[in-house]
Amino acid sequence: MCFSCFTQNFWNLLVLGLADGFLYALVAIGYTLVYGVLQLINFAHSEVFMSGAFAGYFILNGLIGTGSPHGLSSVAYVVIGIAGGACGGGVIAFLLERVAYRPLRRRHAPRLAFLISAIGASFFLYNLAGKEFGRDAVEIPAPFTNGPVFSIFGAQVTTYYIVIAVSAIAMLVILDRVVAGTRLGKGLRAVAQDAETASLMGVNIDRVVSQTFVLGGLLGGAAGFLFGLNTGVVYTMGFTPALKAFTAAVLGGIGNLRGAMVGGLLLGVVENFGAGLFGTQWRDVVSFGILVLVLLVRPTGLLGERLGRSA
């Protein structure tokens, strides 16, 4: 353990942690929304993340190629990449619900069947991606030149971090408004609180479930693209970040929207503090240690399980 490494790097680790945390939060929301309406953990959400990254890669590869955009066109490419990633994630999430889960719901299958179906769908999707898109990581053409923009207490905040923070906050705010104020959001909350009564009010449960998967898929896919900008894109990329996002969702209280946001940010920061304290090789140990700890000590998470709240 190296306490001075930690104190010296505190602000760096904090910035890094928040950037990671925003991505975890975006992905965690996908878990929490689906859990809220179906009490189901969508363990194939990792492939939604991966699909978003690939979608963003293909689109930007086609548009940018070997160019190096700057200024306004950078902004446009970032927005296009995020939108493309979101669409890729949304489509895969929609298909997952239709193919892997809905048939099981129809015949009132036991919980375990959903889990097996999720794992099967996940294997299928990432192996399909590996077969079609190659086994090696590819790089998304940079839509902007990354570099420090400003620094706080010596920690440099780069363009990439600003892109993550701004786009994540925008998406989280929009989601919050959608769930609180729109017809879709009301239907979603009603189904989460009491599905049968919601159907008596005229809510088409199947449609709300479908929309919920898409909503989570949009955010998860966008996060996949943002993540892939830094790490490159490969068919197995979804597994670890998605499992961490699941940890974040559990940490905040699965089924609780604000909880997923808070849990994501908290996990990102704690994980990076842990890495600073014990060395980077301990990163994942810290995250999954938290998962085990939360499940043992406070399984309802920090804010409790509740999607019903108008956020």
Partner 1 sequence: MSLLQLVDLDVRYGAIQALSAVSVEVQQGEIVALLGANGAGKTTTLRTISGLARPWKGSVLFAGQEIHRLPPHEVVGLGVGHVPEGRRIFPQMSVQENLEMGAYRRRGNLSQDMERVYALFPVLKQRRRQDGGTLSGGEQQMLAIGRALMSDPRLLLLDEPSMGLAPLVVETIFSIIEQIRSSGTTILLVEQNAVQALQLADRGYVLENGRVVMADQAGVLLNDQRVRAAYLGEGAA
Interface residues with partner 1 (CB under 8 A) are 183, 186-187, 189-190, 193-194, 196-205, 306, 308-310
With respect to partner 1, which residue has the nearer C-beta, 130 or 186? 186
With respect to partner 1, which residue has the nearer C-beta, 151 or 182? 182
Q: How far is the CB of 188 from partner 1 (least distance, A)?
A: 12
Q: Nearest-CA neighbor of 104 among 113, 95, 116?
A: 113
57: Cα within 13 Å, side-chain hemisphere = 22
With respect to partner 1, which residue has the nearer C-beta, 189 or 283? 189
CA–CA distance, 246 with 31 (Å, rounded to integer): 7
The answer for residues whose C-beta is within 8 angstroms of residue 134's C-beta and 6 or more apart is none
CB 78 within 8 A of CB 65: no
CB 208 within 8 A of CB 199: no
Q: How far is the CB of 179 from partner 1 (least distance, A)?
A: 12
Q: How far is the CB of 213 from partner 1 (least distance, A)?
A: 19
Q: How far is the CB of 113 from partner 1 (least distance, A)?
A: 19
Q: How far is the CB of 37 from partner 1 (least distance, A)?
A: 14
With respect to partner 1, which residue has the nearer C-beta, 156 or 300? 300
CA–CA distance, 141 with 63 (Å, rounded to integer): 9
Q: How far is the CB of 212 from partner 1 (least distance, A)?
A: 16
**Look-up: residue for tokens 């959903």?**
114
DSSP 71-114: THHHHHHHHHHHHHHHHHHHHHHHHHIIIIIHHHHHTT--HHHH
With respect to partner 1, which residue has the nearer C-beta, 1 or 200? 200
With respect to partner 1, which residue has the nearer C-beta, 32 or 46? 32
The answer for residues whose C-beta is within 8 angstroms of residue 218's C-beta and 6 or more apart is 86, 87, 89, 90, 93
